[in-house]
Structure 1
């Protein structure tokens, strides 16, 4: 690979191996694809003395929507192979629209054609008004077809063309090892199919749990059961299974007790200091400003709800106002999309009007980092996830900012934060805990922040060394067989 890797004390030596990365998300991408994209980008930056290829989806993101526009590809001499999906559902929709157009025509010369068109329209596109059961069954059928076309996830139409291209790529480029990352889980299935066909060792990389994922939306008993069987096939076939947290590794050991525990290893997302050259960014925090400024960057949706934090901010700010306290008030800035079960602008209208809540649109990755650099403290919001740690934690660590995490006491994030002393934690189900954490943060606000003693453990340059060793070991074992 090229020598464009940022200077570090060490990086991952591939020992001449050729590696195929399977990553559905890769730049350019919208903001929701940033965590998946950056996982692959960070590894690529710190691998040398070998050859890397990336099998990914088409570059369909418009330039103005590209959240990683600051990156120049290739990032470190990798060869990028883009494959378009075979989207059957879109083709079915196109056929539906064409048939609808024919059905709307009324040719005067043919009563037969007219009746046929009406029959087709009724039977294919709408159920009869009298038969609600038929309409219900038909809707379920349409939902099943949709879910099947996008199984196991929205990247499902990419699996077969990517697998076909990947098999040819492995043979033409003499690939030694395959590394497939997910979600989307379609990438892991693609890696499995390529590895099965070529005999090359496969590492499957779980950035999230596939099964038991609290954000999972059911596709019905049949497809959910099929997903579970596919995970088992992928895991049983893989030469190694990477999990991004220790609780997730323990969950896999419990689910696959018959397998060698050494096959499962933890590889955290990590941070890359080369992403944090923020020259020309806004000024650092101003201790004289009237607020303690809290920032969160990323998508807020479903159970990832800021309500416990915003309720605590409302309570503490009211006390400052009503009791004439000399304490600073809090201000929370959300950067990114918000899709909650309630209207955040209505529920927290008072905070918006007072300036204690700011809602900003999603921004490119680099701009987000620059804005976060101005915060007094950064926030993780991660409820109801026993085995997941948000990728933004590692960006926060790189910024070396005071951090609070709103997360359950028994979750992976809480365990990691407490074990490695990575800031303050509060359980979202305990409002008093959230209030106490904010008060503690306010007390610390006037003192100098000295950083995190265990921060270096999450430097991607060091993590890449371990990954390169895995590549070398697996390829050597495959050669000896």
Structure 2
């Protein structure tokens, strides 16, 4: 008999972006490992990104529970227009360049909606799920955040019903990069810390996506913490023809602080120094991009080489990955981002295209790229090495030999990761 597991998640198709992928894929494969997933999601959620193509991964046999959610971002959008949309996507303008409206919205978001803007969904969800769990054979609940308010649903259900509760953290809580941008008062910061401590010490088990996050949480709780990374799934595409140009493609959001000026400088210098490079080079930006990043590219006179595609479906993103010559993986240069492993890394790794990654010292991304032989990783200070590597890739492109030679990728497949999760369940 299959074990019934209730999964509480905010992001679910038709939501787009990286937040939806993790549990969409776990749910897809869990039935193969004697687990029957039941998914609880908000009704009429205000998702910042939509990708209807992901609905193809949702089984018709899956039980999906829904209750309405009040979304403050809907009202905020009426008052501020596009600003709230970019903030909800995680694109926050540098403090010194923020408008009065942006500063006010960030202050309200940080201090009046703790832990986040979906906190009003907690109480009705607990009421609905308590009744459902009592009538069905469910003894395990999984909550996944962000939004971290969903962990408060698990916290209350555990207290009321004495069920097993697992808290899954796709990102950290109080050390995530944007947390510092919310203009928190000392009291609000203390409240976040208190809730984080309460959740980590009440959950029967905690799942994280990286080793640095595990280390961070081990200083807060003695509860078992398991690292289950994100991964890749097999996606069928039509016959792929590589780009004729030397395309460097970044897929996903380029936040304001995710702005590798040293890379822009390298590319700008190569454009000036080599006529052939200037003729062949193209920078593909697939996804949302911050104004600060665009201005930096203009400053380095690279705006004429940009193909600014914007947001595309997951299926289209996979096609861009496989046809690009070189894939860019850019993370903010901060200690806080050592624990961030973008979900796209694993899809990059199976695209057969080399990865050029940049980020902080001590990142898990560097170790994964190194052990899988899927590309090169650089710090924000390595101009000479970065320039040599771009030229090396370019010469291989001219010779028609540019490709990746990956090793040991199978353990990062969504199915293998789901098997690991099933053993924990």
Relative to the length of structure 2, the TM-score reads 0.84
Which residue in 2 is equivalent to 1:468?
A: 422
Report what 2:230 is aligned to: 269
Matched with 1:453 is: 407
Displacement of 1:293 after TM fit? Answer: 0.9
Pick closer, same or farther for the CA change 1:393–1:146 going to 2, 3 Å: closer
Q: Is the 8 A contact 1:182 1:208 kept in 2?
A: yes
TM-score normalised to the size of structure 1?
0.74
Q: Gapped runs of 5+ residues in structure 2?
A: 80-102
Closer/same/farther in 2, CA of residues 451 and 144 from structure 1, 3 Å limit: closer
Within 5 Å, give how 1:56-455 maps onto structure 2. 56-60=41-45, 66-72=50-56, 74-75=58-59, 77-86=61-70, 147-216=110-179, 217-218=181-182, 219-256=184-221, 259-260=222-223, 263-273=224-234, 276-279=235-238, 283-286=240-243, 289=244, 291-321=245-275, 329-341=280-292, 343-344=294-295, 347-348=298-299, 350-353=301-304, 356-383=305-332, 384=334, 385-445=337-397, 446-447=400-401, 449=403, 451-455=405-409
Report the Cα distance in structure 2 between the residues aligned to 1:61 and 1:417, rounded to whole angstroms.
Answer: 35
Which sits farther off after the overlay, 195-204 or 414-423?
Answer: 414-423
2:14 maps to 1:28: yes
Residues 208 and 229 in structure 2, CA contact (< 8 A), matched pair in contact too: yes
Q: Structure 1 CA distance, aligned partners of 2:77 and 2:54? A: 36
Residue 71 of structure 1 aligns to a residue in which SS? Answer: helix
- Shift of residue 443 of structure 1? 3.6
Q: Which has the larger radius of gyration?
A: 1
State the number of aligned residues.
394
Distance of 2:109 and 2:402 partners within structure 1 = 55
- TM-aligned CA distance change 1:397 to 1:343, over 3 Å: closer
Greater Cα shift, 142-151 or 449-458: 142-151
TM superposition shift of 1:362: 0.6
Q: Give the drift of 1:197.
A: 1.6
The question of whether the paired residues in 1 share the 8 Å contact of 2:28 and 2:58 is answered with: no
Deviation at 1:448, TM superposition (A): 5.6
Q: Distance in 2 between matches of 1:230 and 1:391?
A: 26
RMSD over equivalenced CA pairs, Å: 3.1
Tell me, in whole angstroms, the C-alpha distance in 1 between the residues paired with 2:77 and 2:342: 36
CA apart distance, 1:89: 9.3
